[in-house]
Structure 1
Amino acid sequence: MSFAELGLSEPILRAVIENGYTIPTPIQKQAIPAVLKGGDLLAGAQTGTGKTAGFTLPILQRLSTIAPKPGTRAKSVRTLILTPTRELAAQVEESVRTYGKYLKLKSGVIFGGVGIHPQIKLLSAGLDILVATPGRLLDHMEQGTIDLSKVEILVLDEADRMLDMGFIRDIRKVLAALPKQRQNLLFSATFSDEIKALADGLLNAPEMIEVAKRNSTVEVIAQKIYPVDRDRKHPLLAHLIKAHNWSQVLVFTRTKHGANKLVEQLARDDITAMAIHGNKSQTARTRALGDFKAGELQVLVATDIAARGIDIDQLPHVVNYDLPNVPEDYVHRIGRTGRAGATGEAVSLVCVDEHQMLKDIEKLIRQTVPREVVPGFEPDPNARAQPIQLRSAAHGRQGGNRSGQTPGAAPRSAAPRPSGPRPAAPAGRRQGGGGGSGNRGR
């Protein structure tokens, strides 16, 4: 099946083809016709499945062929797309601009972390498509700088992560401002009880689709465990980067403080590295991600939440400096490599404190990850596990858990990126918007 067979208009097909795509991914094959019908949709799809084009393409089609509601005026929005993080918001709006290149539609993106006044100007003339994070959207609602009474289509992207991050109250406030008659599209990597409850209250007789086997790891990803003492992780990481001449490495840490500390340590080893997390300014995050994508930065250190929206072709190396609190996040992390048919390597530096975490991960993925002890970095066989302080993103509680215990949090999963369309940098920007996380203060 080709994109031409999905009922998309010539201007949209031209933009898709210009970006080198002719065959839709599984989620696109199912989601595009479903959205074009005009009904509600509940879709299970992970990052890397091509889901963004799965809803942006048919939305562009509908908006370009259906006249706006009567009374559409300044500050009004026809389609509202909510995302959990600033990076994802920016990438989704970039996708809208890329595939809407030949359409007379106006789009924009708003999120926190930057000045609000350029966004007020952006919204003042009205938009066909607005991508937003919840917190900044509420700021505009409270200031009366946006009108949501004419919204025709609502998209909740990565709804499970939005619930993880505590956005449910913000989402309910937004829903209360929307017209009752509208099309609702909910995309989630998992279908937890919270997601099902949200869907039940939001969707009207939705079509349900789900693609990619959940909790599966990609066959083209070579996984490896390096046992090491907790205080030798940094020297081992530096050794691996230099010994194997790794040039582009995405490293995950458990905390913001850990990310900052690791960047400082790597700098002393003459390894260029930058960190992205919630405490970093939007400018710093954008610069770090841009330098990393361009190959000018050797190592990007990220926390799980900050890494949402990072989408890089042929990323060769992912390192779990700290194992994730939630086993499903391991699958999501390593799924960032080995995409589009490329091979990738995912390594984890595991100390005695994380042995239970590793057992939980291997139980989830139903395989034992190969171990390799690096000469000179042999772990102390007599070392005893120490408790790891884990923070529940969903509830904001701090708790001391015995080694490897996982606090309550919604599961995550990932899938390889098939060969469907994904955002490509357009030549020019029709509509601007600030950047940042709607997650106020996070």
Structure 2
Amino acid sequence: MSFKDLQLNRPILRAVAEAGYDNPTLVQEKTIPFVLAKKDVIVSAQTGTGKTAAFALPILQQLFDKQEGSKKGKKIRALIISPTRELAIQINENFKKYSTYTNLRTTVVFGGASIEPQIDVLKKGVDILIATPGRLLDLHKQDIINLDYIETLVLDEADLMLDMGFIDDVKKIERLCTNEKQILLFSATIPFKVEQLANTILNTPERVEVAQNSSTSKNVDQALYYVPKKNKIELCLHVLRNNIKGSILIFRRTKFGVEKLEETLKKNGYKVESLHGDKSQNLREEALNNFKLNHANILIATDVAARGIDIKELDAVINFDLPSKPETYVHRIGRTARAGKTGTSYSFCSADEKVYVASIQQLIQLQLDVIEDHPYPLDPKAKKEIHRTPGKSKHKKGRKSEASKKKKKRWY
């Protein structure tokens, strides 16, 4: 699915594309249609699943359809309540980014900062307000903020908000808004007190749950690294050095890829065996036995070669190349964390493999954990990469054609 399929208009799609996003995340895919249909929604999703855009994009879409041209007459029509100033600032930045090509104005108010500049911006008129509860009520008491025109109220990180003791403030803010408003409640978890709050203020809500991968029945933590194709081997060495101990199965798409990686890892002092279609049965059995007997702790294989082999004690699976079929991904990672044990899968995704991530997440109904803290990040706007060894020309070093030598004007 693409953002276009979610019925978003062109100015918003353009801003989303410029922000470097190709396809909606699971939580966006499930939530946006409900918001556009004016339903109340409860969303259970962890930070990092793309939930800010899950409410920002449809809110911008709804307000865009009837936006007012002049700044002065603007009324606050969408209100986002956030428990912390850091989160409020982050949400504001997202709204600003996605509303680049609209006339919609956004601002953020929070405590612990001077109130005067915030009042000045509010007096100029805004469409969307992001606020922490205390500062919002303060400004309302001073008649600076009018909540009579609110169409959508978002409660973000509801569980954290209630843990911080904001329950009464949240209820008060909800009462100050119009009765006809739409309410969107986002929470990492839905404990009893969040459920109670939802029952009190939401009107027959739709529910969206995006499970965290730590709660998968397979006990597999699924990590995803976006990386340029040319840096995959370096990233593999980095992950092996810093993240994994024990027995590891690495999947590559081709037998050439298997051999190349095996050679590199051996040069770096790792004990490695490999399986691919060109190996004789004897050599395959020998490789597998060496791996099972811990003479080698890394086995590199293609999917075809690995099919049907049973390895009981696997600590990790590395998807060096992502499979084009999402079912293959499920089979691969199912080889670790067997019989109640835990395990980890590491998937390396280059620009041209992003489409595979989308279909994998769709199939397993989970958001993979994106690991951004690594030395070889992929530019989020990268589409496909032209793979050329850096610094190498197709000509031999120092070789010039006779014609170019003749043409060259000397400066001396």
TM-score interval, normalised by the smaller of the two chains: 0.5 to 0.7
| Partner residue in 1 for 2:222 | 219
What SS is found at the alignment partner of 1:121?
helix
Contact preservation (8 Å) 1:75, 1:146: no
**2:175 aligned partner:** 176
Alpha-carbon distance between aligned partners in 2 of 1:418 and 1:148, rounded to the nearest angstrom = 40
Tell me which of the two structures has the higher relative contact order, counting C-alpha pairs closer than 8 angstroms and 6 or more residues apart.
Answer: 1
Judging changes above 3 Å, is the alpha-carbon distance between structure 1 residues 126 and 367 closer, same or farther for their aligned structure 2 residues?
farther
Aligned equivalents of 1:175, 1:131: Cα separation in 2: 14
- Distance in structure 1 (CA, Å) of the matches to 2:206 and 2:148: 25
Partner of 1:249: none
Where 1:219 maps in the other structure, the secondary structure is: strand
Paired position in structure 2 for 1:109:
108
Find the counterpart in structure 1 of residue 154 from structure 2.
Answer: 155
Residues 266-290 of structure 1: per-residue CA shift (max 9 Å, x gap): xxxxxxxxxxxxxxxxxxxxxxxxx
Number of residue pairs the alignment of both structures matches: 237
Which residue type is aligned with residue 222 of structure 2? E
Residue 213 of structure 1: how far off its partner (Å)? 3.5
Q: For residue 176 of structure 1, report the CA deviation from its aligned partner.
A: 1.8
CA RMSD in angstroms, aligned pairs only = 3.2
Q: Is the 8 A contact 2:85 2:111 kept in 1?
A: yes
How far did residue 125 of structure 1 move?
2.5
**Counterpart position of 2:52:** 52
| Conservation of the 8 A alpha-carbon contact between 2:15 and 2:101 | yes
- Amino acid corresponding to residue 218 of structure 1 in structure 2: D
Separation in 2, partners of 1:197, 1:112: 27
Cα pair 1:153 1:182 within 8 Å, conserved: yes
- Alignment map for 1:308-327 (pairs within 5 Å): none
Matches within 5 A, 1:419-430: none
Q: Amino acid of the residue matched to residue 156 of structure 2?
A: D
Asked if the contact 2:44/2:209 (under 8 Å) is kept, the reply is: yes
- Give the corresponding residue for 1:25: 25
SS state of the match for residue 46, structure 1? coil
- TM-score if structure 1 supplies the norm length? 0.49
1:144–1:214 distance in 2 versus 1, CA, 3 Å? farther
Alignment of 1:121-160 (within 5 A): 121-160=120-159
The SS at the match of 1:77 is: coil
Does the C-alpha gap of structure 1 residues 119 and 75 become closer, same or farther in structure 2, counting only changes over 3 Å?
farther
Alpha-carbon offset, residue 126 of structure 1: 2.4
Aligned partner of 1:233 in structure 2 is none
Partner residue in 1 for 2:37: 37
Kept after mapping to 1: 8 A contact 2:213/2:369: no
Change (3 A) 1:166 1:158: same
Residue 16 in structure 1 maps to residue 16 in structure 2: yes
Contact kept, 8 Å, 2:74 with 2:127, in 1: the verdict is no
Shift of 1:207: 1.0
Whichever of the two has the greater Rg, that structure is 2
Structure 1 residues 74 and 4: alpha-carbon distance in aligned structure 2, compared to 1, 3 A threshold:
closer
CA deviation after TM superposition for structure 1 residue 20, in Å: 1.4
Instruction: Tell me the CA shift for residue 141 of structure 1.
Output: 1.3
What do residues 276-308 of structure 1 show as CA deviations (whole Å, max 9, x unaligned)? xxxxxxxxxxxxxxxxxxxxxxxxxxxxxxxxx
Map 1:63-82; keep pairs closer than 5 Å.
63-66=63-66, 76-82=75-81
In the superposition, relative to structure 1, how do residues 168 and 75 fare at CA in structure 2: closer, same or farther (>3 Å)?
A: farther
Alpha-carbon deviation of 1:123? 1.0
Q: Where does structure 1 lack aligned partners over 5 or more consecutive residues?
A: 222-243, 246-340, 342-365, 371-413, 425-442
Identity %: 48
C-alpha distance in structure 2 between counterparts of 1:18 and 1:218, whole Å: 31
Give 1:212 deviation, angstroms.
2.2
- CA pair 368-11 structure 1, distance change in 2 beyond 3 A: closer
Secondary structure of 1:95's counterpart equals: helix
Match of 1:127, SS state, is coil
1:122-147 deviation per Cα after TM superposition (whole angstroms, max 9, x unaligned): 11122110000001111111211110
